[in-house]
Amino acid sequence: MDFKNKLLTKKKKVDEVLKQYFPPKTSLHKTIFESMSYSINAGGKRLRPILALEVCEMLGGKTEDVMPFACAIEMIHTYSLIHDDLPAMDDDDYRRGKPTNHRVYGEGIAVLAGDALLNLAFEIMLGKIISYDFGDNRGIRAAYEIAKAAGVNGMIGGQVVDLESEGKKVSKETLEFIHLHKTSALIEASVKAGAIIGGASKEEYKALEDYARSIGLAFQVVDDILDVIGNEEKLGKKVGSDMQKDKSTYPSLYGIEKSKEIAKNLITRSLEVLEVFDDRANFLRELSKYLAIREN
């Protein structure tokens, strides 16, 4: 099976499990479930859960052991997108080619849907830890890495600095801080969770940590580039929004060509650190290359 088909197969597997968490409801508060489901099923790439699954399976771990953590990560990612799109944040009308959550359900429900997805993510992880005896603290360690990446020292911290940097000329260090925390942290947590549940050795964990940081930062650099030269139809949202909001990005600081070079170097680094895994890491290698040329 080639890489694209394997990627699609893994995405479908994640989609199927995610849908099980959102069956149709008839209760008085059914709107919140509809709002959560609207965004979680809006057609994301599922990069983060796929990374968690692939790393765990590569190390000999079981899919069913890591799947709850993988789905939890996607819920946290989706909550962040719902909140990011709100008028108080990025004020976006479209996400993945569809009206943003608050444009469909209103700002109040959108806020609550994001909150609910974040909370449900931890319910799912803790439920797995309670119901299944890992025989050690792997489940707790994985949940901790995910919580840390989503919090004030991870994604939220990056979002704060991103908001405060609008309209300002920031340093290279500040820009890297924003990207490493706002975007890369949750990608890194996905790889770390898969490594922990899969039982990685110290050497393997360190290599995967380096891989995750490289592709996490590369992902956002490419995202910055696509916001300038991307195809709106393929992206499912308007291009040029970063410039309109006067955000600091890699193209605004380095220019397009230099930004492409930075992304390429990060991808090269991600490939180098995978050498310890030999052929077992072929999917991860292909994923790195895919991130470098993606169009959405």
For 18-56, what is each residue's pLDDT tens digit? 999 998 888 899 999 999 999 999 988 999 999 999 999
pLDDT at residue number 277: 95
Between 5-9, 107-111, 269-273, the lowest mean confidence (pLDDT) is in 5-9
pLDDT at residue number 234: 55
For 232-248, what is each residue's pLDDT tens digit? 655 555 666 666 667 78
Q: Indicate if the pLDDT at residue 85 is higher than 90.
A: yes
The torsion angle over the Cα atoms of residues 162, 163, 167 and 168, rounded to 10 degrees, is: -50
Beta partners for residue 95, in sequence order = 98
Q: pLDDT grade, residue 293 (50/70/90)?
A: confident
For 156-190, what is each residue's pLDDT tens digit? 999 999 999 988 889 999 999 999 999 999 999 99
Of residues 143 and 291, more confidently modeled: 143
To the nearest whole percent, how much of the chain has pLDDT over 70? 94
For 113-160, what is each residue's pLDDT tens digit? 999 999 999 999 999 999 988 889 999 999 999 999 999 999 999 999
Burial 207-235 (b: 16+ CB within 10 A, else e): bbbbbbbbbbbbbbbbbbbbbbebeeeeb
Of residues 238 and 261, more confidently modeled: 261
Q: Indicate if the pLDDT at residue 17 is higher than 90.
A: yes
3-state secondary structure of 94: strand
pLDDT at residue number 123: 97
What is the SS3 assignment for 200-219?
CCHHHHHHHHHHHHHHHHHH
Q: Which residue has the tokens 């830890």?
A: 129
pLDDT at residue number 47: 95
Q: Indicate if the pLDDT at residue 109 is higher than 60.
A: yes
Q: Indicate if the pLDDT at residue 250 is higher than 60.
A: yes
pLDDT at residue number 96: 85
173 exposed, middle or buried (CB, 10 Å; 0-12, 13-18, 19+)?
exposed
Q: Indicate if the pLDDT at residue 266 is higher than 80.
A: yes
Q: Indicate if the pLDDT at residue 296 is higher than 80.
A: no
Structural domains of the chain, with CATH: 3-293 (1.10.600.10)
The Cβ-side half-sphere exposure at 152, using a 13 Å CA radius, reads 0
Q: pLDDT grade, residue 279 (50/70/90)?
A: very high
